[in-house]
Structure 1
């Protein structure tokens, strides 16, 4: 699916996605990644939902954001609540959703100048 968003300057925008990829600023990514408005972390080490660990969530908590969107792949899956404890301790809001919903939500929040990160699991 292609997404269209009004011009948002030089920020990272999800411009499309499919069952096995995400496009950021019209560039295709086939591996898990982390998207912030001004930063892109390619090849996030989370290769599958089953490999999500506390240290991955701790990393997201260290990014200085107010909300974390965790895209869990093609379907919505909830991680063990103990994995999310670093976000709760830091007072960071989070939403768990499938990766495509996380892409759409990221674009909305980013366009509102929110401090948001989308951590997208592809695989």
Structure 2
């Protein structure tokens, strides 16, 4: 699925409108796993949480300026990535908020309504 760029009339950027067909409904498209920035939504080949590396988050880390933090949705339950990954991201000035993917999708909408410069990485719901 190609990248979905932000509607220039929407200051919030792409929004998760719900959950459909086992994925995230974002502005009319459904993604099994998705990366979100204030500017675009993109399908994501999410690794297992234990295997998550900084390179898997490279598209959102390339934002300029860097996001305040990344909402990391770890699927149907909360699972924490390697501590080394969190330390590496924090050393770059990017925080990580870990929660289940449904909670992360809801939090994305709330924080983007405040126009916070954040990113999200949402792993599959199943």
Structure 2 gaps, min length 5: 1-8
Q: How many Å apart are 1:121 and its aligned residue?
A: 0.7
Q: 1:39 aligns to what?
A: 40
Q: 2:3 aligns to what?
A: none
Q: Measured at CA, do residues 47 and 93 of structure 1 come closer, stay the same or move farther in structure 2, by a change above 3 Å?
A: closer
Structure 1 gaps, min length 5: 1-6
User: TM-score, normalized by length of structure 1?
Assistant: 0.80
What secondary structure sits across from 1:69 in the alignment?
A: strand
| Deviant stretches of 4+, over 4 Å | 7-10
Q: Measured at CA, do residues 98 and 10 of structure 1 come closer, stay the same or move farther in structure 2, by a change above 3 Å?
A: closer
Q: Measured at CA, do residues 12 and 59 of structure 1 come closer, stay the same or move farther in structure 2, by a change above 3 Å?
A: closer
Q: How many Å apart are 1:40 and its aligned residue?
A: 1.4
Q: How many Å apart are 1:73 and its aligned residue?
A: 0.3
Q: Measured at CA, do residues 56 and 68 of structure 1 come closer, stay the same or move farther in structure 2, by a change above 3 Å?
A: same
Q: How many residues align?
A: 115
CA deviation vs aligned residue, 1:1-34 (integer Å, no higher than 9, x gap): xxxxxx945720110015821010132112x210
CA distance in 2, matches of 1:76, 1:109: 20
